[in-house]
Amino acid sequence: MWKGRGFPPFLIDCMPGKMMNASPHMKLSALLLVCLCGLVRPVCAADSGDAVALDEVVVTATRTRIELADAPAAVTVVHARDIDNKNVSRLGDVLDRVPGLYLQNGALGQSQGTSGTSGMSLRGIDQNKMLILLDGQPIQDASSGKVNWRVPFVADIERVEVVPGAFSSLYGSNAIGGVINIITKQPDRHEFTAKVQKGWGDASGEDASLYFRDRLGDDLGIVAGIGYQNRASFVNDFVVRTPVAGAAGTTVSGAQAITTRDGARAYLVGDKGATPWNSANAAARLSYSLNADDKIHGGFSYQQTSQGYTRYNSYLSNAAGAAVSSGTLGINGQRVALIETNFVNNSPLFESAARYFAGYDGTIGDACLLKIDVAKIQRAYSFTQSGAAATWNGGAGTLTDTPNDGLDGSVQLSFPLGARHFLVTGLALHRETVNQRIYALASWRDPGALTALNNGYDGNSSMVSVFAQDEVSVAEPLKVYLGARWDSWRTSGANFQNTAPAGSRGYAARGAGALSPKFSAVYQPSSTTTLRASFGRSFRAPTNLDMYATSTINGLITQGDPNLQPERGSTWEIGGEVRFANNSRLGATYYDTRLSNLIYLKQVTPLVLSQRINAGKAGVRGIELTAAASLASWLDLDASYAWVDSAMLENSADPLSVGKRLTDSPKNIAGVGLEMHRGPYSGSLNARYVSHIFLTARNTDVVEGVPTSYDAHTMVNAKLGYQFAKGVKGAVAINNLFDTRAYSFFLLPRRNMTAEIVFSL
């Protein structure tokens, strides 16, 4: 981590004298600094006489409606228009404009098809320590804590509010790194859209959606929509084998000499084919206004994804020219062992989520706001895995079936207390269950060919919470937020194994409590300037997977620990924003987070048995810079830079990881975007740079450009739209405009194109 005083390294490296030999991320940093220093005119609205646009309203940072300038955090808002102006396959694709946010396998949702589930980090904090909400309710998986970015129906999204920092004081578990709240459209106006999209290259496939919302009379609102995506996918997963000791076997040709991501000698011998997939969404929602102030609402949404496979490709051939996919081989005189399952993808895969929700928004008396919400989500998740002796066509394997569900409810009361205080208080309940079963299959290609139940686990976790926050208007330019939440966490579970060594064990209910306080101050010395400072504590309860699951992959057994304790975090930050004429603005934030009780894998028996334990302490600090400017009446610029300095400070499970960067935590993230609206034309041009990322805790994976590496890369995407007539619009998008070849574990999509037509009424 950076220990010195003065300028941080990224600013020194971006100084003019150093730019001739600068790396790509330094050049992007310099471009951002140009935006900060030159493109935004340093003229305050108060001095120029120009009006600054009224600030928009956000809800996530305080759980109440508040102007963005008053929010006690550096909130980023992604609007429906931002989604429309980009080529979006899943929600995560549009989050690339969020400072400091990294989405693994982003790449417009094409990479590795699957469910849309990806690793993510915000300000260096991984996704498991972030809270993802849909209309204020959690949507993360009850087993692993991950989120499927395809669950929200993109056509139904009004905006996404990304609130970085410690927010367990309002939201409880998982909100160590921040909160992402996906807010759907309200049925407050008429909208009907029909959209058809066709893709070529690595985006080959079709999309179609219908979406309708309207207000019928003064009381009843309705929303309904369906969507479907179909992708041919592309080859992005490769077979790499390292030579082993011993005499060379059958001589083969066609192998490509490379290294592993750790630098060991290896050979690229084939690929696993493509993984075509399809995804479907449906949403329906009703709202009814009881009077001018009170409303009830409810609805249902459903999403499912299925993934298939195409045949693998072996690049090896023997002396007779026949393809080779197994055996003891000789490559450049070295012994290489190969079995056909090395070429096999774990497919087919199926995932679905059915969500039911209802709520009430109203008033009590003249000034007290009451909000009641309840949501239930039921998920299915299953995939097959081939056994070591299987072939691509079939053979013994396993089916992992992990149904899980979550139930959430909250009651919130917000009211003024005197002239200077506004209180937000509430109760919340969260409950999640998971019942995983792993079956033996006669043929791993047939999920219905069950022969026996091998093992499984059951997990039940719940959280009962009470929270309060006082917004204090200390003086005209100063607001202070004082908040705290108490969470009572309880869990119980069991696991069993019917294969040797057979056995079962149940774990009695246990629990822990967590107090999460937070202090924030917002100071506005003028109408164009906002300064913020905060300190908060947060926590993350271990998942059911962490505690109760036992898995075996390639002979390595990983055990959960039913006695795991919650992970903890504390964060302080300081920053602010200056707004100028013509909707221009500059922002900067410095933050420092300390993590403790982190859950890591301990090697109990090397290459045989690992166990999850509370073992780690880590530190993350960084700087975020943001800029926006209206370059012309028809052209807007948005830019950001994030410098993330992370390090493992203590880890008894793996002492060699101490002092190394955290995994899934890029050191530099930079982005620049242009958005254009002129006459019938609209468009966007975006560039995003992400520096090298480590997958291994010891940071041994330093090689780039090889399968399973995490490469530093810059992606440039463009989209151009044209309004043919009222209600008819077309667009063409080119992704990876400069055809960058890079890996984010899987190979990212190369240059590809999509075209769309949208009809609206």
Average pLDDT over the chain reads: 88
DSSP-derived secondary structure for 513-574: EEEEEEEEEEEEEETTEEEEEEEEEEEEPPPHHHHH-EEEETTEEEE--TT---EEEEEEEE
Rounded Cα gap, residues 115 and 596, in angstroms: 31
- Cis before 42? omega within 30: no
pLDDT for the residue numbered 150: 84
SS3 assignment, position 248: coil
Rounded Cα gap, residues 349 and 418, in angstroms: 57
pLDDT for the residue numbered 117: 58
SS3 assignment, position 100: coil
pLDDT for the residue numbered 382: 93
Rounded Cα gap, residues 454 and 33, in angstroms: 58
Rounded Cα gap, residues 73 and 210, in angstroms: 36
What are the residues whose beta carbons fall under 8 Å from the beta carbon of 49, sequence distance 6 or more? none
Q: What token pair was written down for 319? A: 């002396």
Q: What token pair was written down for 221? A: 């609102």
Question: Per-residue b/e over 223-249, b at no fewer than 16 CB within 10 Å?
Answer: bbbbbebebbbbbbbbbbbebeeeebb
Rounded Cα gap, residues 536 and 571, in angstroms: 5
DSSP one-letter code for 292: S
Rounded Cα gap, residues 125 and 206, in angstroms: 35
Alpha helices per DSSP H over 302-461: none
Q: Which domains does the chain have, with CATH numbers?
A: 9-177+189-237+272-309+345-760 (2.40.170.20), 238-271+310-344 (no CATH)
Which has the closest alpha carbon to 159: 82, 213, 85?
Answer: 82
Question: Where on the phi/psi map is residue 407: left (φ > 0), alpha (ψ -120 to 50), or beta?
Answer: beta
Question: Per-residue b/e over 567-603, b at no fewer than 16 CB within 10 Å?
Answer: bbbbbbbebbbbbbbbebbbbbbebebbbebbbbbbe
Rounded Cα gap, residues 114 and 111, in angstroms: 8
DSSP one-letter code for 37: I
pLDDT tens for 173-202 read 999 999 999 999 999 889 999 999 999 999
Task: Classify residue 563 by burial, with Cβ atoms within 10 Å: 0-12, 13-18, 19+.
Answer: exposed
Which has the closest alpha carbon to 209: 750, 760, 658?
Answer: 760
Rounded Cα gap, residues 680 and 689, in angstroms: 31
Rounded Cα gap, residues 731 and 604, in angstroms: 56
- The answer to whether residues 68 and 56 touch, using CB atoms and an 8 Å cutoff, is yes
Rounded Cα gap, residues 641 and 31, in angstroms: 10
- The answer to whether residues 338 and 315 touch, using CB atoms and an 8 Å cutoff, is no
SS3 assignment, position 152: coil
pLDDT tens for 486-532 read 999 999 999 999 988 899 999 999 999 999 999 999 999 999 999 99
Q: Which residue has 């055809």 as its token pair?
A: 739
pLDDT for the residue numbered 161: 96
pLDDT for the residue numbered 681: 96
Which has the closest alpha carbon to 689: 14, 224, 201?
Answer: 14
Which has the closest alpha carbon to 84: 758, 674, 761?
Answer: 758
What's the distance, CA 394 to chain centroid?
A: 34
pLDDT for the residue numbered 608: 76
pLDDT for the residue numbered 553: 67
Q: Please state, as a whole number, how many other Cβ atoms lie within 10 Å of the Cβ of residue 69.
A: 20
Which has the closest alpha carbon to 446: 388, 380, 398?
Answer: 398
Task: Classify residue 333 by burial, with Cβ atoms within 10 Å: 0-12, 13-18, 19+.
Answer: exposed
Largest CA-CA distance found in the chain, in angstroms, rounded: 89
SS3 assignment, position 374: strand
Beta bridge partners of 387: none
Give, in degrees to the nearest 5, the angle at Cα 48 between 43 and 53.
85
Beta bridge partners of 526: 529
Give, in degrees to the nearest 5, the angle at Cα 748 between 745 and 750.
155
SS3 assignment, position 422: strand
pLDDT tens for 25-74 read 444 344 333 333 333 333 333 333 333 344 689 999 999 999 998 999 99
Low-confidence ranges of the chain (pLDDT < 50): 1-54, 107-108, 111-115
> Which amino acid is residue 649, in one-letter code?
L
